[in-house]
Amino acid sequence: MTTEAPGWIDTALTNGPSIDTIGTLGPAGTSSEQAALYLWADRGRDVVPEIRLYDSYEEVGEALRERTVSHLVIANAYAGVHSFYMDPGLRFAGAFLFDTPHYGIAVAPGHPIPQRARIATHPAPVALVEELLPEGYAVEEILYAASTSAAAGQARRRETDLALTTQPAAKANELEFISRTRTIRMLWSVFTLAAPAA
């Protein structure tokens, strides 16, 4: 899954609350889900992972405040990550490096690809579209989705011509890659609830 061993930047998680349930961005197949699964395994949890997937990181933050999840995993590439660091109700518990699953540009089987294609993607990896789009194709329009898995769903439903998505999401949505694929070395932050003020 990773090309190099992941590593911890901060190990404050060892002194925090035990990991009971991890919340992150869904639906199934996102890079965030894979990062949450890594965190679960890395912290020595050998039971079936309790990972809950939400439509946005902000929804995960609400689930954390409501104690529906014990930990939140968020990609530092997310444009709104700063709001989690600034939130006095949350505690930064640690960060780790973890490669995403392979990203590529995928299509629904049998869908004719125009030379100028409409492509769904999450905003964070949008730079990969130009890098991975095969020669002979151009971008007609970029359509932003809530996650790479949601982008794959748009391509499956033929709402777009193509999707920049991950290997797990492409598989779940029965898409075929038309490009080469590659991972992204990513920093992930983990948050818990802040301790009540004394």
> Does a cis peptide bond (omega within 30 degrees of 0) precede residue 114?
no
Q: Give the model's pLDDT for residue 4.
A: 46
Q: In what order do the strands lie in the sheet with 22-25?
A: 7-10, 90-99, 185-193, 71-75, 22-25, 51-54
| Whole-number Å distance between alpha carbons of 36 and 175 | 24
| Whole-number Å distance between alpha carbons of 28 and 55 | 11
Q: Give the model's pLDDT for residue 19.
A: 85
Domains of the chain: 7-100+185-193 (3.40.190.10), 103-177 (3.40.190.10)
Q: In what order do the strands lie in the sheet with 176-177?
A: 138-144, 116-121, 162-166, 103-107, 176-177
| pTM (two decimals) | 0.80
Say which residue the tokens 């050998």 belong to. Answer: 46
Supply the DSSP string of 129-154, one letter for each residue. Answer: HHHHSPTT-EEEEEEE-SSHHHHHHH
Amino acid at 26: G
Low pLDDT (below 50) residues in the chain:
1-5
DSSP H helical ranges for the chain: 31-42, 57-65, 82-86, 127-132, 148-156, 167-172
Exposure string for 47-83, b = 16+ CB within 10 A, e = fewer:
eeeebebbeebeebbebbeeeebbbbbbbebbeebee
